[in-house]
Amino acid sequence: MMVSHIRETARLINQQYPKLQWYIFGSCNSGEKYPNDIDIMVIYPNDVDSLPIYNKIIKSVINIPIHLFMLSKDECKEFNSIVKQKAMPLLD
């Protein structure tokens, strides 16, 4: 239920910011039936100001316990974040 709300939020935000990449990782990917929170990674283009995106996400999921990690494409590549976190795409 919570993940489906976040997925819908991602789709809506991507209408304004179509180049965002959304990933889910952590306990949601480990098979835990009732995770304490949802770990979300959002990758944004290097030339985009991430603060408005961050604010939209936080306002949209205010009642859902999330850990939100936002990285530019360069940061994601530098830290190999997707692989290290075993992140899975949130959107199709």
CB 63 within 8 A of CB 5: no
3-state secondary structure of 92: coil
Structural domains of the chain, ranges and CATH numbers in brackets: 2-89 (3.30.460.10)
pLDDT at 53: 97
| Strands (E) located in 1-92 | 21-25, 38-44, 66-72, 88-89
Q: CA-CA distance, 21 to 45, in Å (whole number)?
A: 9
* For helices 2-16 and 50-60, angle between their N-to-C axes, nearest 10 degrees: 150
pLDDT at 35: 81
3-state secondary structure of 52: helix
pLDDT at 33: 77
pTM over 0.85? The answer is yes
Mean pLDDT by groups of 10 residues along the chain of 92 residues: 91 97 90 84 96 96 93 97 96 90
